[in-house]
Amino acid sequence: MVALMDGYPDHVVAYRAAGKVTQGEYERVVMARVNEVAARYGKINFIVFLETGMENYSLMALFDYLKISFKHFSKWNRMAIVPDQRWLRTLYRALNLIVRGEIRCYPLAASIKATDWVSKPLP
């Protein structure tokens, strides 16, 4: 399940993933919001609280994740990834080398710090 989170500035895409994540809900919730922010601001700040493992994303939801990442490749500004799994934080840190914008990874216990960082104004 994915759900948008309230309390973030308009230029931030914020969502929580828990349990199984299907393609349909990923498209309706996450992709729609990313497209909206990209069109309105030209840049995207993004935070995801991963309370589930990537193994719980359906194959097509993972495909959509990659598709939206490349569709807006030049628009990513700040991405805060907040998984409880250490290996995911390591993976996302490595992506900093190939992704535009800046990725920072935080454990769930540091969610306030992640929120503060990603909520900063766009350049």
Q: Are strands 2-4 and 12-17 parallel, antiparallel or unpaired?
A: antiparallel
Question: Could you give the angle at the alpha carbon of 100 between the alpha carbons of 98 and 105, nearest 5°?
Answer: 80
Where does 22-101 show beta strands of DSSP type E? 44-50, 76-83
Three-state DSSP at 61 gives helix
Q: pLDDT-derived band of residue 6, with 50, 70 and 90 as boundaries?
A: very high
Cα–Cα dist 117/100, whole Å: 17
The reported pLDDT for the residue numbered 80 is: 94
pLDDT digits (tens, 9 = 90+) for 14-67: 999 988 888 888 889 999 999 999 999 999 999 999 887 767 666 666 566 667
Identify whether the C-beta of residue 4 lies closer than 8 Å to the C-beta of residue 33. yes
The reported pLDDT for the residue numbered 38 is: 95
pLDDT digits (tens, 9 = 90+) for 80-89: 989 877 766 6
